[in-house]
Structure 1
Amino acid sequence: MNSTLNLQKLSVGTETVEDLAAWQATRRAQTPDGLPRHVTRMWPKRESELLNGGSIYWVIKGLVLCRQRIERLDEYIGADEIRRCAIVLDPQIIRTTATQRRPFQGWRYLKGEDAPRDLPAGREAEEALPPQLAAELAAIGVI
């Protein structure tokens, strides 16, 4: 049993894993040391569990398609002077089995045993199925 604690988050505005990677390559989406980050209003209360090998699982078009290991949580204060949490990520994006998720706001905790599996070695570079087809296959339990 995998006891790792993870986060799941909607990747709003992205259509593909490649879109997510392209966004994270922009300076706006990076920390001063060049790592990708996602800024959120809420600071995870279970920080120590997340930093013990946890990942953020990205939901793209209703499907979890990939994950990134969480490196650290940084304080981020924007131009509005409000304290936020920057979830700093490993730049490596690991593709996972496509798993359906209903829409939700913010982020949600995800237990390790409930997380989608990583794609087997050699399948990471495969072209992704069209989102509609992947959703339909996931709904009937094929993927």
Structure 2
Amino acid sequence: MTLHLIKLCVGCDSVQDLTDWVDERLADRRRRGLEPVHVHRTRQMPKRRDDILDGGSLYWVIKGSIMVREPILDLRAVTDEAGVPHCDIVLSGEFHGVEPRRCRPFQGWRYLDPKEAPHDLRSAGARDLPPEFVKELALLGLL
């Protein structure tokens, strides 16, 4: 059964901030001859790894609302220079706008059941609007 993760996108004020930052990181990885994938390091390895790798995505919370999802390609156990274990969440770098939903702050990542995940933006018109505008429309119940 597919399972998703949800995480706060700390330091980003918009979806555009996130996509610009990821694009810069991917370009840097290409320049250095590394695999051009978006990697997000976190402290804990999800115990339900197989469910996540069965088509799961990382849903990003930006400024208090779930705004976008990014497909998860892999979960890799790594150890940092100090010998502390971590998990590298390997992401596609492809972002899919979702129907914005308010979300309270939390630490780390959380599991997100597919039944509770916001739907992708379906209409072409909504996909073409600025994400902040889509968020306001959703919060007003107009999307």
TM-score interval (norm. to shorter): 0.7 to 0.9
Is the 8 Å Cα contact of residues 69 and 98 (structure 2) preserved in structure 1?
yes
- Is 1:126 the counterpart of 2:124? The answer is no
Per the normalisation by structure 2, the TM-score is: 0.85
Consecutive unaligned residues of structure 1, counting only runs of 5 or more, are none
Is the 8 Å Cα contact of residues 4 and 52 (structure 2) preserved in structure 1?
yes
Per the normalisation by structure 1, the TM-score is: 0.85
Match of 2:93 in 1: 91
Give me the identity figure in percent.
36
C-alpha deviations, 1:60-108, integer Å up to 9, x for none? 0000000011000123333323221010011110000110000000011
May I ask how many residue pairs the two structures share in their alignment? 138
Instruction: Give the CA RMSD over aligned residues.
Output: 2.4
Cα distance in 2 for partners of 1:141, 1:4 equals: 28
Q: After the TM superposition, which residues 49-60 of structure 1 pair with which residues of structure 2 at under 5 Å, given as runs? A: 49-60=51-62
CA shift for structure 1 position 129: 2.7
- Is 1:41 the counterpart of 2:39? The answer is no
1:126 is matched by which residue type in structure 2?
Answer: L
Seen in structure 2, the aligned counterparts of structure 1 residues 104 and 53 have a Cα distance that, compared at 3 Å, is: same
Seen in structure 2, the aligned counterparts of structure 1 residues 72 and 64 have a Cα distance that, compared at 3 Å, is: same
Is the 8 Å Cα contact of residues 100 and 138 (structure 2) preserved in structure 1?
no
Consecutive unaligned residues of structure 2, counting only runs of 5 or more, are none
CA shift for structure 1 position 30: 5.9
Cα distance in 1 for partners of 2:14, 2:3 equals: 25
Query: Alignment partner of 1:92: what SS?
Result: coil
Cα distance in 2 for partners of 1:84, 1:7 equals: 16
Of Structure 1 and Structure 2, the greater helix share is in 2
CA shift for structure 1 position 27: 3.5
Given candidates 69, 72, 81, the residue that maps to 2:71 is 69
Cα distance in 2 for partners of 1:119, 1:54 equals: 17
Given candidates 5, 9, 26, the residue that maps to 2:7 is 9
CA shift for structure 1 position 51: 0.2
Cα distance in 2 for partners of 1:30, 1:68 equals: 18
Seen in structure 2, the aligned counterparts of structure 1 residues 65 and 54 have a Cα distance that, compared at 3 Å, is: same
